[in-house]
Amino acid sequence: MDVTPLTPISHLIANKRKVSALKSLGIETVEEALAYYPFRVTDPVPARAVGEVQVGQALAFPAVVRGFQIIPMGGRRGYRFEAMVDDSVFAASRHVPASLVRLTFFSHKKPYMDWLGMRMHSGAQVVVAGTLGEYNNQPQFMHPEVLTVALAGIGGVADATDRPSAALASPGSLKFDASNQSEALLHVCRPRPIYHANSRISSEHIHEVILVLLKALGVLVESDHETEEQGAMPNSSSASGKALGRLSGTDGFQEDVSSIHAVSAPFVPDVLPQKVIDECGLLHRAAAFAAVHDPHSVEQFAEGLKTLRYEEAFVSQIAVLQARQQSRTAHAFPCTQTGLREEFIDSLPFDLTSGQRQVIDEMGMDMQRLFPMQRLLEGEVGSGKTVVALAAMLQAVASGGQALLVAPTLVLAEQHERTIGSMVSKLATPVDVTLFTGGMKLSQRRQALARMANGSPGIIVATHAALSRHVQIPNLALTVIDEQHRFGVEQREVVKDLNTKDADGKPIPGGKAPHMLVMTATPIPRSAAMTWFGDLDVSELTQLPGGRRPVKTVVVPEADNVTMSRMFTHLRRRIDAGERVYIVCPRIEEDSDEADDGVGVIGAGGASSVAGAANGGVVGVSKVDAASANTAGAGAQRHKEGTGQGFTEPDFVEFEGTSDSEGDGTGEPKAPLHSVGQMKARLSVLPQFQGVEFATLTGRDDDETKLRVMADFKSGRTPVLVSTTVIEVGVDVPQASCIVIFDADRFGLSQLHQLRGRVGRGGTDAWAFLISRAEPGSIAQERLEVIRTSSDGARIAEADLELRGAGDVVGDRQSGGKSGLKLLRVVKDKAIIVDARKRAERLLEGDPDLKGAPDLAGAVLDFTRGTEKQILSS
């Protein structure tokens, strides 16, 4: 059958367990498998005799097994497998003394030990790869990778009549791992792609499956090469006419191998125009996939990533530019009356900043046009975005239209309704303000729906419930989305379709699209804005109104008992002075598996074990068994029992891959997260808080509870609020002067900046205490230092994106599905994004509908349907 990128992998892979494991990673089709990129490659391993290297150096060498033994571990459960191998023939070809080396494996499974014995029986010919160690002054390899070789001779020159098997990536069909020495050395010496794996499938097995799929597509083929001189590598070619690289460090043996390389694949057409490929020096798409998933060198891997990364940038820029152009073909509600807006500005008890006035004027001009305004308004917490938005809404109302303000939470919607109602009540012209939320009583809901449906001019403040298709707002002229980072692109698309499409998605004759203003207090780096908000005009509010003081930010190591105690004493003084305190925890309950709302926390751990001390207010954390954590990205994939795996294994052997759900890639686990309920119980018994009432607030609380809790907090009846990140937006308590954020090292910097903005809103001194368990010198500590030393949201956002992905080739963990940009880094790849945007603009000028580039048009459609939906909301 013909294999295409849309072919399910279940049609090509017979092993159902492997298919199921891949499905758990989001891989169900060939296309999804090819887009599951490795996050790094291993360094090339040189082929050397043991006598040529020092302890601690990596090498690969052919050898003969001279004997083995399986030794029970005595008092400890388990077994030790020891095999003695010698490299005399290979060492002689290298003109160095021969070595007798021990290979050692440990396991508590006897069947696994027996399986090793079958593979490494006396006289077996193997190729060993690993790092040379030493035990009792004898050379030793602990859990090396071992490939069995089928040839009768183990010399430095392979028999020219022996060819490598075409079934290399199908381990179940071979008795041996490789048909000759050169084939085995080629496999272990080349850079190895390392994929994010899980307990059901290893990185090595993911790699084998992807190689099978690349061959089925015709991206990889096997072709014979002539025997070459020592140190020379087989030639290779690609669909781009560029060599796919040379095997690094495998000098010292003559090889007669069949090297896999890329060819032109009819079912993997180029997405990028040929002109762009040539001008930017990129590979063709088939060659790029081959270079990433089957690299012959680290340099080749980088070349493949460069091509695929540019492809992502180009497709994303085409998508946002087309969206921008399409929006300008829609008909909008022209809002030409500005008198009510100016009346409102004159009624304010303060003067607008120059930035606020400029943005109001920009939006006023945009809203007078016949096509819809689409503007992104960025501004620090407290910069006056609500006043700017209200000015635009009043322009819409004065022009006979309705204005809708959408807030992400009930608390914020209620607050906006009260604030806007208070402001417009001072105007000579009456303005109707309607509140609509999903939690309203039925009678109130019906009244609100009726008021919206009659089309009379006014302001509607609502939660996302207003974006439902059955909600009618016939004269909607302007939609304002507050706190954009809490919404997704799909909700922006719903806003665009209001009054222009019916419930079935069909166009409404004569329908007019509303103007749209998107607001966020989470700073977005310019490169990110270009990628995700390229269809929006961007305005920034950088000035803060008078009365706001900078928040003093203090990083407190949780293990520092003295500082923790002083902090609690300081909190009590602020409470006694009539002020309020937030305590933020990332988890709702001790046995909860996820952080509240899934917002912003990096690497949620297990249950927390915090102990409060009666004297001194010490809060400590119990230690976690480091042995229980998986090691992420620690080198080549290892067998569950610690062995290097070849290409064959019996059915009873289970494998696991690396996981980065816990830990930081160093082999150490993340400490458990603190929870709201547990923290309230621990802190309320400390002597510093005797006689102080505590309240809790989480995303699971119903609307009535949330409103009651916030009312008690504002009044001072419960001056300490222990909460999840549900308070991140929309909570405005002027008396709040202190916020304590536990597990601060596990949050994103932009989110910490948002949380910090909850205090100091009443003009008093304010403090933010970031409780951290980050190790000195770690990236986590570096991130907290950024937030401690800066109040510049743009700089913080840039640093957040840079530091979150530090150390990875690709960046953050990927799911395997269409869940976002997989390779493009919006901060580090700014130059690529800018270049791709310029080229995309030139292409669309001559071919706005991409009629001459059908493959590119298809990729843009896939991006719009899938990738774009993840935006910054996660």
| Claim to verify: residue 506 and residue 558 sit in the same structural domain | no
Instruction: Mark which of 151, 174, 189 sits at the end of a domain.
Output: 189
- SS3 for 511-522, per residue? CCECEEEEEECC
Sequence letter at residue 6:
L
Give me 154's structure tokens.
């183990």
- Most trustworthy range by pLDDT among 64-78, 224-238, 648-662: 64-78
Q: Which among 767, 791, 815 is the end of a domain?
A: 791
Amino acid at residue number 274 = Q
Sign of CA dihedral 568, 571, 577, 579: negative
Q: Is the predicted pLDDT of residue 442 greater than 80, yes or no?
A: yes
State the CB neighbour count (10 A cutoff) for residue 504. 6
Find the helix or strand (DSSP H, E) in which 126 lies.
strand 125-131
For residue 125, is pLDDT > 90?
Answer: yes
Tokens of 844: 């669309």
What residues contact 117, with CB distance under 8 A and at least 6 apart?
A: 68, 70, 81
As a whole number, mean pLDDT of residues 658-674 equals 50
Q: What is the CATH number of the domain that holds 466?
A: 3.40.50.300
What pLDDT is recorded for position 54? 93
- Rounded Cα–Cα distance for residues 166 and 519 (Å): 57
More confident site: 796 or 675: 675
Nearest to 458 by CA among 431, 423, 490, 496: 431
Query: CB–CB of 296/267 below 8 Å?
Result: no
**Residue 551 CB-density burial (10 A; 0-12 exposed, 13-18 middle, 19+ buried):** buried
758 lies in some domain: yes
- Domain contains 830: no
HSE-up of 849 (CA within 13 Å, CB side)? 1
- Tens-place pLDDT, residues 293-326: 999 889 999 999 999 999 999 998 998 888 888 8
Are 608 and 482 in the same domain? no
* Distances 547 to 351, 666, 794 between C-alpha atoms, Å: 13, 45, 22
Q: Report pLDDT digits (tens) over 716-731.
A: 999 999 999 888 766 7
Number of domains into which the chain is organized: 3
Q: How does residue 526 score in pLDDT terms, banded at 50, 70 and 90?
A: low
pLDDT band with cut points at 50, 70 and 90 for residue 131: very high
DSSP 435-465: EE-TTS-HHHHHHHHHHHHT--SEEEEE-GG
pLDDT digits (tens, 9 = 90+) for 144-170: 999 999 865 444 433 333 333 333 333
Q: 611 falls in which pLDDT band (50, 70, 90)? A: very low
Q: What is the pLDDT of residues 215-234, one digit of tens each?
A: 888 887 654 433 333 333 33
Going through 357-493 in order, the beta strands assigned E by DSSP cover 374-379, 402-406, 433-436, 458-462, 476-481
Same domain, residue pair 605 and 497? no
Measured N-to-C along each axis, helices 285-293 and 203-217 cross at an angle, to the nearest 10 degrees, of 150
Give the CA angle between residues 51, 57, 59 to the nearest 5°. Answer: 65
3 state SS of 675: strand
Q: Is 138 helix (H, G, I), strand (E, B) or coil?
A: strand
User: What are 480's strand-pairing partners?
Assistant: 405, 517
535-583 pLDDT, tens digit each: 678 888 877 665 567 789 999 999 999 999 999 999 999 999 999 999 9
Instruction: Tokens for 482, please give them.
Output: 């507050």
In the chain, % of residues over pLDDT 90: 43
- The reply to whether 144 falls in a domain is yes
Nearest to 9 by CA among 39, 45, 34: 34
Task: Using DSSP, state whether 619 is helix, strand or coil.
Answer: strand
List, as own/partner pairs, every contact residues 282-287 make where C-beta atoms lie below 8 angstroms and the sequence separation is at least 24, other chains included: 282/240, 282/306, 282/307, 282/310, 283/238, 283/239, 283/240, 283/242, 283/307, 284/238, 284/239, 284/240, 285/311, 286/219, 286/238, 286/239, 286/262, 287/238, 287/239, 287/240, 287/242, 287/244, 287/262
pLDDT of residue 221: 64
Q: Which residues face 105 on adjacent strands?
A: 81
Integer angstrom CA distances of residue 7 from 265, 461, 685, 765, 862: 15, 47, 61, 62, 16
Q: Are residues 440 and 508 in the same domain?
A: yes
Domain end marker among 739, 765, 791: 791
- pLDDT for 140 equals 95
For residue 294, give the 3-state DSSP assignment: coil
Flag whether 384 is in a domain: yes
Cβ pair 721, 583 in contact under 8 A: yes
Residues 601 and 698 in one domain: yes
Instruction: Select the more confidently predicted residue: 749 or 721.
Output: 721
> Does residue 625 register a pLDDT over 80?
no
Distance of CA 812 to the CA centre of its chain: 4
d(CA 745, CA 809): 22
User: Is position 255 within any domain?
Assistant: no
Q: How many angstroms separate the CA atoms of 804 and 196, rounded?
A: 17
| Same domain membership, residue 600 and residue 514 | no
Cβ neighbour number for residue 686 with a 10 Å cutoff? 21
Cβ proximity of 149 and 109 under 8 Å? no
Q: CA-to-CA distance for 150 and 547, rounded, in angstroms?
A: 80
- DSSP at 469: T
Lowest mean pLDDT among 330-344, 494-508, 769-783: 494-508
- With a cut of 50, say whether residue 840 has pLDDT above it: yes
The C-alpha angle with vertex 134 and arms to 132 and 136, in degrees rounded to 5, equals 160
Q: Tell me, yes or no, whether 649 lies in a domain.
A: no
Q: How confident is the model at residue 647 (pLDDT cuts 50, 70, 90)?
A: very low
| Domain match, 583 and 672 both | yes
Task: Give alpha helix (H) positions in 76-219.
Answer: 88-93, 110-119, 181-189, 203-217
Instruction: Report pLDDT for 700.
Output: 86
**Residues 366 and 481 grouped into a single domain:** yes
Mean residue pLDDT of the chain comes to 77
Give the residue-averaged pLDDT of 591-606: 42
The answer to whether residue 687 sits within a structural domain is yes
Question: Residue 353: what pLDDT?
Answer: 86
Q: What count of other Cβ atoms lies within 10 Å of the Cβ of residue 93?
A: 18
Comparing 547 with 612, which gets the higher pLDDT? 547
Q: Are residues 125 and 158 in the same domain?
A: yes
Judgement on whether residues 600 and 533 belong to the same structural domain of the protein: no
- Lowest mean pLDDT: which of 514-523, 609-618, 675-684, 843-852? 609-618
Full domain range(s) for residue 758: 552-625+665-791
Please state, in angstroms and rounded to a whole number, the distance separating the CA atoms of residues 266 and 270: 10
CATH number of domain containing 170: 2.40.50.140
* Cβ neighbours around 324 below 10 Å, total: 16
Q: What is the residue whose two structure tokens read 């509908």?
A: 849
Residue 237 clears pLDDT 50, i.e. is over it: no
Q: Is a pLDDT exceeding 60 seen at residue 414?
A: yes
751 and 776: one domain?
yes
Are 438 and 702 in contact, with CB atoms under 8 Å apart?
no
Handedness of CA 743, 745, 750, 754 (dihedral sign): positive
Q: Is the model's pTM score more than 0.85?
A: no
Over residues 352-376, mean pLDDT: 91
The pLDDT of residue 468: 78
Average pLDDT over residues 452-461: 94
SS (H, E, C) 707-768: HHHHHHHHHCCCCEEEECHHHCCCCCCCCEEEEEECCHHHECHHHHHHHHCCCCCCCCCCEE
DSSP state, residue 179: S
User: Does 719 lie in the same domain as 585?
Assistant: yes
Instruction: State how far the Cα of 33 lies from the Cα of 10, in Å rounded to an integer.
Output: 12
Q: Once rounded to an integer, what is the mean pLDDT over residues 12-40?
A: 92
pLDDT above 80: residue 806: no
In a domain, 68, yes or no: yes
